[in-house]
A and B are shown apart, each in its own frame.
Chain A
Amino acid sequence: MKLKQVISTFLLFLFVAIGFGQEVELSQQESEELRTNIKLQSESKNTIKSEFVQLKHLDFLSNDIESSGMLYYKSPNSIKWEYQKPFKYSATFLGDKLYINDAGKKSDLDLSSNKAFKSLNSLVVRSVKGDLFDATEFEITYFKTAQNYSVHFVPKDKKLHAFISEFVIGFSKTTFDVISVKMFENTEDYTLLIFKNQEFNNPISDAVFTN
């Protein structure tokens, strides 16, 4: 073996080792324990209020597009994304309707006829709650990193797969709360939501969800 080949083989092994070093797949028993803990946490949540930072990564851009705001969730299916920076915009999903307030311009959309949008929204709600564990819908794999758990969900439905090829949800190792949701559109482009200062089960007025 020539020196060049030895070095490149060594480098290849090094990169593979580093790559796998970040995420370690859980054993079946560990996965089951994690799933149980997350389900218990998820089911106990009637309201969620959280700050969020959103990073939109498109492979061809020099920088990710950053936005931030507040997320409100109230059981069973009210959710409001309120973007505050760098623009004012809110999307409120209430039952079968989507209410939009785009810097004062208000509109609404009936989602009952739009199956793709409806199922996408239900997935976002469920991912925020950490409740995507349906093996009939997803190929699910469980990993841990030094700081967190990370669960990968690959949609089995082809139509959904065209929108989102994979969800990667980060869970706290101590509280089992959802701390991040990463939605891949394809192998390069994704949207990453990072949640901060979360409050659970504090009362949220219905007025929050009026447009």
Chain B
Amino acid sequence: MRYLLISLCLLMVGCSSYPKKNNFEAIETNHLTSLNPYFSNPDLDYIYKAQISIKENNFGGILIIKKINMQEHRVVFTTEIGNKIFDFSYIGNEFKVNSILADMDKKILINLLKKDFKVLIEENPQIENSYTANGYSIIQADIYKNNHYYFFKENSLEKVVKTKNGKENTSFIFSAIDTNIAKNIQILHNKIKLEITLRKI
């Protein structure tokens, strides 16, 4: 019985919420502007040199993101030489694969890319809670039914952390920020050895 209680306690600590584990202090939500401005200007073509490393393998390409209109983003990945690897559209809440290389046409991979790029382009996710911690103001929002924590310093979005079961799952780190453009972006997955590095060109 004692062991059962201890293990239950451990389980509860293990499953405690991400804000609790990280000593976030709850505050009243007071965020009026969009959470993520980095791909929000329809007049701009957002072009990034991408390096992707999966386990020991590295490969590169060009990531192209364009806000087509208020409802739609296009996300295209090509090789440096110009061949399209995949081409996605996000229209409102819909997601469409316009094309993908046969070798990459796998549901699990498409799902992972869909979720990662959704975080990059989503400007106004559903806000759930607000916190402060370590000089950051933090907003908890919902994307595809997962908690995402937006970390702001001086009104500038520096990091988004996606959590699963109270643990960090994926981090999106924005740096070298210049008037609503993040020149460097890193997407780090914790569970799988996947890292995507984007550098604005």
**With A and B bound together, what is the CA distance between A191 and B79 in angstroms?**
11
Contact indicator A60/B74 (Cβ below 8 Å): yes
What's the Cα separation between A100 and B68 when bound, in Å?
Answer: 33
Q: Contact check: which of B45, B74, B83, B201 meets A163 at CB < 8 Å?
A: B83
Partner of B76, one of A58, A124, A191: A58
Most interface-central of A61, A105, A163 (chain B CB within 10 A): A61
Nearest Cβ on chain A to B74's Cβ, whole angstroms: 5
Query: Cβ of B17 < 8 Å from any Cβ of A?
Result: no
Q: How many Å from the CB of B15 to the closest CB on chain A?
A: 39
Stretch at the interface among A10-18, A86-94, A142-150: A86-94
Contact A87 B64 (CB under 8 A): no
Distance of A60 Cα from B42 Cα, bound (Å):
11
Which residues of the partner chain B approach A89 to less than 8 Å between Cβ atoms?
49, 60, 80
Q: Does B92 contact A (CB under 8 A)?
A: no
> Complex formed: what's the CA distance from A70 to B44 in Å?
29
- What residues on A are CB-neighbors of B57 within 8 Å? 107
- A-B pairs, top 7 by smallest CB distance, nearest first, are A191-B82, A86-B201, A102-B60, A87-B49, A61-B45, A56-B82, A89-B80
Query: Could you say which of B60, B62, B83 contacts A185, with CB atoms under 8 Å apart?
Result: B83
Cα distance A62–B41 in the bound complex, in angstroms? 12
A81 to B82, CA, bound (A): 12
Tell me the count of chain B residues lying within 8 A, CB to CB, of chain A: 24
Taking residues whose C-beta sits less than 8 angstroms from the other chain, chain A's interface range is: 20 to 34
Q: Which of B60, B62, B66, B80 contacts A60 (CB 8 A)?
A: B66
Given contacts A61-B64, A61-B66, A63-B45, contact A83 B76 (CB under 8 A): no
A65-B62 contact in complex given A87-B201, A191-B82, C-beta closer than 8 Å: yes
Within 8 A of B (CB), among A50-83: 54, 56, 58, 60-63, 65, 67, 81, 83
Interface residues of A in 82-141 (CB under 8 A from B): 83, 86-87, 89, 91, 100, 102-103, 105, 107, 120, 124
* Cα–Cα, bound, A102→B60 (Å): 7
Contacts of B78 in A (CB 8 A): 56
Q: How far apart sit A82 and B66, CA to CA, in the bound complex (Å)? A: 27
Q: Which residue of B lies closest to A121 (CB)?
A: B81
